[in-house]
Amino acid sequence: MIGAYLIGIIVMVVSLYVQWRLKSKFNEYSQVGLSIGLSGKEIAEKMLRDNGIHDVRVVSVEGMLTDHYNPQDKTVNLSSDVFYGRSVSAAAVSAHECGHAVQHATAYSWLKFRSQMVPFLTVSSRYMQWVILAGILMINTSIIPLAIGVALFAATTLFSFITLPVEYDASNRALAWIQNNRVVNEREYGMASDALKWAARTYLVAALGSLATLLYYVSLLMGRRD
């Protein structure tokens, strides 16, 4: 039990550190003007065209680090700083999100698998914590509620790990494109690569944190069965 708490604390500290480094990196590189002078919107539109994608819109959304690709309405959503920005950060983020659009257009297997899980997880996430809480409270009476909660949480953890290849692949596509199309010079490429690596690490830490929590719940369940 103490070991599980210790692992949880370590994961939380590492997560906070990675989040801090990510924000500091993006703030730093947002101050570095892109030599080619294109905005995030222009870069996104160019990458989409170069990949033969003409049915995806590039739109601006509110917030910081709220950038994402929506496969439902086929939109690349860029935060204002990225949409209008002409910095290394803007280039890296806009190209990364377009990487997801390319995955969608080419039926990238991991993205398809991830998308198929979304409807189930959307519903289960509403009740999962309540089921787990009820399972813990009823653990001396019945292990069934906790077993159901653990199964639901296991699906969430699986989703977190499936997200990893999706994110890393999108970054690889982005970096290859901005380099091959000379959107960035050598110095700017290094910065863009560094920024996307820190972004990917947030997903890695989240997946490990989910796994640690799952193992804690499993230990409760197995302890009761013993």
Contact 128, 152 (CB under 8 A): yes
Q: Which two tokens stand for residue 190?
A: 């290094």
Set 45, 97, 167, 188: catalytic member:
97
Q: Is 97 a catalytic residue?
A: yes
One-letter amino acid at 17 equals Y
Contact 165, 110 (CB under 8 A): yes
Contact 68, 78 (CB under 8 A): no
Tell me which residue of 103, 93, 91, 94 sits closest to 53, measured CA to CA.
Answer: 103
Task: Name the one residue in this structure whose structure tokens are 């640690």.
Answer: 212
- DSSP classification of residue 59: E
Catalytic residues: 97
